[in-house]
Amino acid sequence: MTGQDRDPADGPPAGERSGSSPRLPLLLESVLSVGTDLGLRATLQQTVDTATTLTGARYGALGVLDPERGTITELFTSGLTDAERARIGAFPDGHSGLLGVLIEEPRPLRCDDLTADPRSSGVPSGHPRMRSFLGAPIRVSQEVFGNLYLTGKGTGHFTDTDVALLRVLASQAGIAIANARLYETVRQRERWIEGAAAVTTALLSGTNAADALMTVAEQARILADAAAGVILQPTGNGGMEIVTASTPDDPVGIVGTTIEPGSPVLEQLLGGEPVFIGDSATDPRMTTHVRSRFGPSMMLPLQSGGRLIGTLALPRRRGGAPYTSVDRLLACQFASQAALALVLADAQQNREQLAVYEDRDRIARDLHDLVVQRLFATEMMLESTRRRAAAAETDELLGRAVDELDSTIQEVRTTIFALQQPPAEAPTTFRGRVLRETAGAASVLGFQPSLQFSGAVDTLVRQPAEEQLLGALRGALAAAHRRAGVSAIEVEVDATARLPDGRSAVRLTVADDGRDDDGARSTTLTWQAPL
């Protein structure tokens, strides 16, 4: 019976038993040392280093298998220098040669001469020369986690004792890996929970919509170790558009990318189903032009209470490690909690905005009903007293008091107009601010003033002319509200005007059809400011 045909479980042959005793202490030491570090990667590297030492192999490798595809996703090596690893280049995926045989038939495999074995193939051209080979599976809870590969036996070929020792080590390594995986899963779950809590706290602290989406995208990217965190939202035509992107690399060309209606991925996302992609660059379901930048990806719906807010996409770089089942589960849970936090933050913001609206309305109403009416009554009393007064000095003093009250009333009315405008984010352009002022006046006047712009208003009008004209506009609208019979107001902003000295200027004209105290109609007020 040859070494290849004999069952290693029967123990080493008689000729080897005497030689096995010196390695018994080494085996015990190896069994005790494997798994002393709870980190998974450290445990895997320790396992392959121990296997090469225990069996006297020159080179060793531990290939981690993808349970879904049956391919090698990571390879931990021992005995190879950095230069030798660089010469090898890409490691085999395990589909061919003895590595593939070991994956298909997970049991110890030994070969004394790789050059003569017809099953030996797929060895990288830069790999050091090999002759003897020994492989064994590592099982974790009856599932093949990976395989140990040893080559370059110092004595020429691996013995039955080597096979038996490797089986014991692989069994112990399986237990250590299970503990390390459990520890890694607990730590990973803890990080995702802390990340979700941090997102919820940030969203409920009052951030605006754009910042809220960026918070979700950035935190998810960090937790998933992704190349980018992307938020997509539905478009009007039934597609989806990237509205937020968090990436440490160049994000140019990502925001604004759309998934057109009819895409298979889109149908799943709009239906609230997560989508997991093995390689974004080659998957036919991916149709965007940015897919070539990325590899494995998760696309998770952000939905709460049946409402689809958008989609969270977490792509990794080309050639990046695929997402595990634990990664997918934790990311889906994070997306659900983030969606709920977004809904709660939006509701909280709406409640706060409503409270501001109500408070501003109350203040405006009190100012109008109490302060303005009393000031107006006082002005009328002073005006009546002035007309009855005979002395010129008294007449002048009362006239100034009436003018001050009139000015105060106009300023209070202007404040009322400002309070009754929506407390939304302030427009950044001069045109937008003019539109906002007239829209606020319309809620009090009962009609919308007409607007006309001439010239490149947003480009030419700058500070301090902008603030001067806006103040004049607010005062003019408040004054128009005081006049009786106002049914129309025309506002014109002309950025092509000229001052008498020929300088460029902006002109504001406010005309209304109301009636003054003296009965005059069609009042026109004009302001000019140099550009």
The 10s digit of each residue's pLDDT in 383-409 is: 777 666 666 667 676 766 767 676 666
Q: CA 316: distance to chain centroid?
A: 13
Q: Do residues 46 and 144 both lie within one domain?
A: yes
Q: For residue 390, is it within any domain? A: no
Other CB atoms within 10 A of residue 52 CB: 20
Angle separating helix axes 465-482 and 392-419, nearest 10 degrees: 110
Count the helices and strands in the chain (H runs, E runs): 14, 15
Q: Do residues 137 and 245 both lie within one domain?
A: no
Q: Do residues 176 and 291 both lie within one domain?
A: no
Q: Do residues 213 and 320 both lie within one domain?
A: yes
The CATH number that applies at residue 515 is 3.30.565.10
Separation CA 264–CA 373 (nearest Å)? 66
Q: CA 254: distance to chain centroid?
A: 12
Give the tens place of pLDDT for each residue, 295-347. 899 999 888 777 788 889 899 988 888 888 888 899 998 888 888 888 887 77
Q: Do residues 137 and 261 both lie within one domain?
A: no
Of 134, 169, 185, which residue is a domain's last?
Answer: 185
Q: Do residues 435 and 512 both lie within one domain?
A: yes
Name the residue range of residue 93's domain: 8-185
Of 337, 372, 397, which residue is a domain's last?
Answer: 337
DSSP state of 318: T
How many domains does one find in the chain? 3
Q: Do residues 31 and 156 both lie within one domain?
A: yes
**Block residue for tokens 């992704």:** 226
Q: What mean pLDDT is predicted for residues 35-50?
A: 80
Is this structure's pTM higher than 0.85?
no
Q: Do residues 310 and 231 both lie within one domain?
A: yes
Q: Do residues 88 and 127 both lie within one domain?
A: yes
Q: What's the chain's Rg over C-alpha atoms?
A: 39
Q: Specify the higher pLDDT residue, 132 or 459.
A: 132
Separation CA 475–CA 361 (nearest Å)? 19
The CATH number that applies at residue 12 is 3.30.450.40
Separation CA 154–CA 131 (nearest Å)? 11
- Supply φ then ψ for residue 295, to 5 degrees: -115, -115
Task: State the chain's mean pLDDT as an integer.
Answer: 77
Q: For residue 406, is it within any domain? A: no
Q: For residue 391, is it within any domain? A: no
Q: How confident is the model at residue 206 (pLDDT cuts 50, 70, 90)?
A: low
Separation CA 505–CA 145 (nearest Å)? 78
Separation CA 299–CA 105 (nearest Å)? 35
Q: Is the pLDDT of residue 276 over 80?
A: yes
Q: Do residues 22 and 140 both lie within one domain?
A: yes
Q: Do residues 153 and 221 both lie within one domain?
A: no
Q: For residue 88, is it within any domain? A: yes
Q: Do residues 156 and 225 both lie within one domain?
A: no
CA distances from 434 to 362, 446, 460, 508 (A): 24, 18, 15, 11
Separation CA 228–CA 280 (nearest Å)? 13
Q: For residue 162, is it within any domain? A: yes
